[in-house]
Amino acid sequence: MTAYAELSAHFGRVAALSNAIGILQWDNDAMMPRGAAGTRAESMALLHVMRHGMVTEPRIGDWLAAAEAADGLGDWERANLREIRRVWSVETALPADLVEASSKAVSACEMRWRQARAEADFAGLLPYLAEVLKLQREIGRAKGEKLGLSTYDALLNDYEPGGRSDRIDALFDDLAGFLPGFTQEALAVQARRPAAPAPQGPFEVEAQRKLGLSMMATLGYDFERGRLDISTHPFCGGADNDVRITTRYDESDFTKALMGVLHETGHALYEQGRPQAWMSQPVGQARGMSLHESQSLLIEMQACRSREFIGFAAPLMRDAFGGTGPAWETEALWRNATRVKPGFIRVDADEVTYPAHVILRYRLEKALIADAMPLSELPAAWNALMRDLLGIVPPDDRLGCLQDVHWPSGGWGYFPTYTLGAMTAAQVFDAACRAEPEILPAIGRGDFAPLVGWLRANIHSQGSLFETDELLTRATGRPLDAAVFKAHLRQRYGKAD
């Protein structure tokens, strides 16, 4: 066997283990009875340690050196070696005891966080969160030393390979300068229009579920390789060729579950569209979290909050719930789907105000990782930034710095990918619609084939063949900037020129 073949077989086994972990995580979040939590934690910890052992095997270094020196490999194989070296470099930077300590600190902190959030008790969470933060710094430092990156960039790099905070700073400063003023403009435009009544429930869960399933089918989701279930926090997970999404149903507002299903279907289309021949190799994986979020937001925000889509979906919504009257007119449904309303909670935010929530978290986590701010000052710093960026101040930390699980669960460096994803979504959708002018008219007829076909060819099927910048340049003509996203917001929410 050649060194490359050894690596490919080894990382095929890593994928087999990762796929097992993926299904167990899905089960944990969507199916598991409460009393099984302790048993499951033992299994997950064991499998994570096994995976760490597999991707840090000393033989990998020898195989990599030999394979990289060999002739005759194609582009995909070369890119696979690059991705394997990336994973191996990052994982071997971490001593096993740091992996274990972090896993335990995160379990304890997540558990404490559920209570702290319910009681708006930041002080109670503080010692647990301080421990997680300390270990995240150690992890970032260890990886950063190996990769020649700052501590924060080393953490970011896990979610956004090649991502760097100086570039994010520039992109986010651009947005942060634009958004406060633009939000006021959008609110003023909205206020001048007659009020759009919202459909009144209750909306039966089974009818919501059927509508969601029919929309998934419309988008081209492959039910032979996935399923739709319920969980407290909607997600897309599972395994290769087994891409499962979840949602939650609110009987008073069917649009939450519906838009959630469309969002997760965007993630799922990416996962189901990864190249089959490289499905279980590192080069066959999705190209980072900002690209992933771009695919969900492209479907949810760009495509499915368009007038064209709402025009197609309105009669289906009316049929699903027996809706009649002004609230069910297409224009009213569209206005409700694009309503701007500054609020405290990130996951409930609209397209215009969402970036402020992310920029705030990004700035705070960077300062905390750099030890430039004491953790105890987080609530005050959070509230000050909310006032600066959105003009509102949460009444307590439940609606403030305790709302998200990311920090307690060790996901430091993840937040910026949400807004990078929103900007990427705008840029990719714009490029797709220029290349295929039929895309939006077809969506108006419920035909997503032109859009999804373009995404398959230009994004999904490319896996991790290219780095993010090159993938985006090939697809849209240039690396990421804020211009198209701002133009999109102006066009949808701003005053007419």
Give the catalytic positions in this structure: 264
What track of x and - describes contact with a second copy for positions 276 through 315 (by CB under 8 A)?
----x-----------------------------------
Residue (240 or 397) nearer to a second copy, CB: 240
- Rounded to a whole number of angstroms, the minimum distance from the CB of residue 293 to a second copy is 24
Q: How far apart are CA 411 and CA 121, in angstroms?
A: 21
Rg of the chain over Cα atoms, rounded to whole angstroms, equals 23
Task: Quote the tokens at residue 263.
Answer: 């969002």
Residue 446: which of 324, 306, 351 has the closest Cα?
A: 306
How many residues belong to the site for a second copy (CB under 8 A)?
36
Rounded CA-CA distance 411/418 in Å is 13
DSSP assignment of 100-152 equals HHHHHHHHHHHHHHHHHHHHT-HHHHHHHHHHHHHHHHHHHHHHHHHHT--HH
CB of 207 to a second copy, least distance (A): 15
Among 134, 167, 225, 406, binds a second copy (CB under 8 A): 225
Specify the DSSP class assigned to residue 225. Answer: G
C-beta of 240 vs 404, nearer to a second copy: 240
Instruction: Please identify, using beta-carbon distances, which residue of 45 and 66 lies nearer to a second copy.
Output: 45
How many CB atoms are closer than 10 A to CB 325? 11
| Residues 198 and 256: beta-carbon distance below 8 Å | no
Distances (CA, A) of 161 to 61, 147, 214, 462, 463: 20, 12, 35, 15, 13
Dihedrals phi, psi of 245, to nearest 5 degrees? -120, 160
Q: Which is nearer to a second copy, 42 or 71 (CB)?
A: 42
Which residues, 161 to 200, sit near a second copy by CB under 8 A?
none
**From CA 31, how far away is CA 166, in angstroms rounded?**
41
50 or 188: whose CB is closer to a second copy? Answer: 50
122, 378 Cβ separation under 8 angstroms:
yes
* Edge-first strand listing for the sheet containing 228-230: 228-230, 242-247, 236-239
Name the E strands within 263-399.
Answer: none
Name the residue type at position 292.
H
Q: Round to whole Å and give the CA distance between 179 and 259.
A: 23
Nearer to a second copy, 32 or 120 (CB): 32
CA of 384: how far to CAs of 112, 339, 387, 394, 444, in Å? 25, 25, 5, 10, 43
Site for a second copy in 7-66 (CB under 8 A): 12-13, 15-17, 19-20, 23-24, 27, 31-36, 38-40, 42-43, 45-47, 50
Q: Is 166 helix (H, G, I), strand (E, B) or coil?
A: helix
What six digits make up the tokens of 278? 């490289």
Our CB check for a second copy shows the closer of 34 and 193 to be 34
Type and span of the H or E element at 76: helix 75-92
Q: What are 277's two structure tokens?
A: 């021949």
From residue 231 to residue 250, the character string flagging contacts with a second copy as x (rule: CB under 8 A) and all else as - is --------xxxx--------
Residues in contact with a second copy, shown as a per-residue x/- string from 443 to 482 under the rule CB under 8 A: ----------------------------------------
Kindly state the smallest distance separating residue 95's Cβ from a second copy, in Å: 18
String of DSSP letters for 10-39: HHHHHHHHHHHHHHHHHHHHHT--GGGHHH
Q: Is 227 in the site for a second copy (CB under 8 A)?
A: yes
The CB-of-274 to a second copy minimum distance in angstroms stands at 12
In this structure, are residues 316 and 288 in contact, taking their beta carbons and an 8 Å threshold? Answer: no
Report in angstroms how near the CB of residue 54 gets to a second copy at its nearest: 10
Calpha distance 329→316 (Å, rounded): 12
Name the residue nearer to a second copy (CB basis): 29 or 447: 29
**Sequence-separated (6 or more) residues with CB below 8 Å from residue 131:** 105, 108, 109
Q: Which is nearer to a second copy, 50 or 65 (CB)?
A: 50
CB of 106 to a second copy, least distance (A): 16
Q: How near is the Cβ of 101 to a second copy at its closest, in Å?
A: 16
State the minimum distance, in angstroms, from the CB of residue 104 to a second copy: 12
Closest approach, Cβ 240 to a second copy, in A, equals 5
Q: Are strands 236-239 and 242-247 parallel, antiparallel or unpaired?
A: antiparallel
Binding positions for a second copy, rule: CB under 8 A: 12-13, 15-17, 19-20, 23-24, 27, 31-36, 38-40, 42-43, 45-47, 50, 222-227, 239-242, 280
